[in-house]
């Protein structure tokens, strides 16, 4: 049989481990695998790499994606959609590795063509009903970097506002904030006010802790925010309210780079292997969902259009430890 595979949307650590697992399983059984370059752009242009055992050798620990990726979306152009369908018709199935945006595209083509399986990846961890490749690595990197800010914040008695990625949800901020002992965590789902943040910082000061670490997700928005960057907004406002020395640090694309953690590699490996089992058995229209070392299939139509957000209970249980 002939299968295609592509990575689409923002990259993250662990993509290569998933590609490797799928390709190796498929080749062992005597199938052909076509790796489309740069996401859906590769499908439009029929631009692919014929995958071999060598093309996936030594990549399980590498960040990025050997296939390349892009945010290119052919859905709204009839001509491009037709070209995709013509090229897909040469295949017996396609595996798409992507985030929420890519899931929309994959679902669209699944409804037209019927032979797609989806592997979830995003450092933002916001795909409904599953864990996603890349999140664990992002949380680990963010935690380690925030750890490093503690000593300099304490030495200078400063307040550090640390902005991490998370366009719509606060998963990275919450998990890295908890694990690095941040004093305040601000997320888009429940954005506490700058006045509340200032109160917590003040309370700490009265207890003799003259420094604070405030972790904020990039997706938080305030009505009086004039600057694009919410972290800068909070930092400036805190400086005014508290007259303390403040600093802003952005932990952005570095979260998407470098080597994946063992957890992400394992998840990606298991999902790649499982995706092969789904396509070879003609079980299309599913995503490879993952929950704590357990893999299972969930229908794409139950996931598409939904966002996995932080629950109020989870946020409140983190809030007990603020200050």
Q: Which residues in this chain contact ligand F6P in the complex, by CB under 6 A?
A: 10, 71, 122-124, 165-167, 218, 256
What are the distances in angstroms from CA 132 to CA 172, 173, 188?
Answer: 12, 16, 19
Identify which of residues 103 and 198 has a Cβ nearer to ligand F6P in the complex. Answer: 103
Give yes or no for a contact between 48 and 42, defined as CB atoms under 8 angstroms apart: yes
Rounded to a whole number of angstroms, the CA Rg of the chain reads 22
SS3 letters for 15-47? HHHHHHHHHHHHHHCCCEEEEECCCHHHHHCCC
Instruction: Please state the closest distance from residue 218 (CB atom) to ligand F6P, in A.
Output: 6
Give yes or no for a contact between 59 and 66, defined as CB atoms under 8 angstroms apart: yes
Give yes or no for a contact between 308 and 127, defined as CB atoms under 8 angstroms apart: yes
User: Going by C-beta distance under 8 Å and a sequence separation of 6 or more, which residues neighbour residue 148?
Assistant: none
Identify which of residues 91 and 173 has a Cβ nearer to ligand F6P in the complex. Answer: 173
Identify which of residues 100 and 246 has a Cβ nearer to ligand F6P in the complex. Answer: 100
User: Going by C-beta distance under 8 Å and a sequence separation of 6 or more, which residues neighbour residue 278?
Assistant: 117, 284, 286, 288, 297
Q: Nearest CA to 271 among 252, 248, 290, 258?
A: 290
Identify which of residues 4 and 9 has a Cβ nearer to ligand F6P in the complex. Answer: 9
Instruction: Please state the closest distance from residue 61 (CB atom) to ligand F6P, in A.
Output: 20
Q: Nearest CA to 91 among 6, 37, 33, 22?
A: 33
Maximum Cα–Cα distance across the chain: 69
Question: For this structure, is 124 an active site residue?
Answer: yes
Instruction: Please state the closest distance from residue 274 (CB atom) to ligand F6P, in A.
Output: 23
Given 11, 38, 124, 264, the catalytic residue: 124
- Residues known to be catalytic: 124
């Amino acid at each position: 049989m002939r299968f295609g595979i592509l990575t689409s949307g923002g990259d993250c650590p662990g993509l290569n481990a998933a590609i490797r697992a799928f390709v190796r399983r498929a080749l062992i059984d005597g199938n052909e695998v076509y790796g489309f370059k740069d996401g859906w752009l590769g499908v439009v242009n029929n631009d692919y790499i014929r995958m071999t055992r060598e093309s996936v050798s030594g990549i399980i620990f590498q960040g990025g994606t050997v296939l390349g990726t892009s945010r290119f979306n052919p859905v709204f152009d009839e001509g491009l959609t037709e070209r995709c369908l013509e090229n897909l018709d040469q295949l017996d199935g396609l595996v798409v590795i992507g985030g929420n945006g890519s899931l929309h595209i994959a679902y669209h083509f699944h409804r037209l063509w019927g032979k797609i399986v989806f592997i979830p990846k995003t450092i933002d961890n916001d795909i409904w009903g599953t864990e996603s490749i890349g999140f664990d690595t992002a949380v680990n990197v963010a935690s380690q970097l925030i750890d490093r800010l503690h000593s300099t914040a304490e030495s200078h008695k400063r307040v550090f506002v640390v902005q991490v990625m998370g366009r719509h949800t606060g998963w990275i901020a919450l998990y890295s904030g908890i694990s690095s002992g941040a004093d305040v965590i601000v997320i888009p789902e429940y954005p506490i006010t700058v006045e509340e943040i200032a109160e917590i910082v003040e309370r700490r000061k009265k207890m003799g802790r003259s420094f604070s670490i405030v972790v904020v997700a990039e997706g938080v928005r305030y009505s009086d925010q004039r600057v694009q960057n919410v972290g800068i907004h909070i930092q400036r406002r805190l400086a005014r309210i508290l007259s303390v020395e403040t600093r802003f640090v952005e932990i952005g694309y570095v979260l998407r780079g470098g080597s994946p953690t063992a957890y992400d590699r394992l998840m990606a490996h298991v999902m790649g292997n499982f995706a092969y089992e789904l396509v070879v058995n003609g079980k299309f229209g599913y995503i490879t969902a993952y929950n704590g070392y357990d893999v299972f299939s969930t229908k794409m139509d139950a996931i598409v259009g939904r966002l996995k957000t932080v629950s109020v209970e989870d946020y409140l249980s983190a809030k007990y430890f603020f200050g």
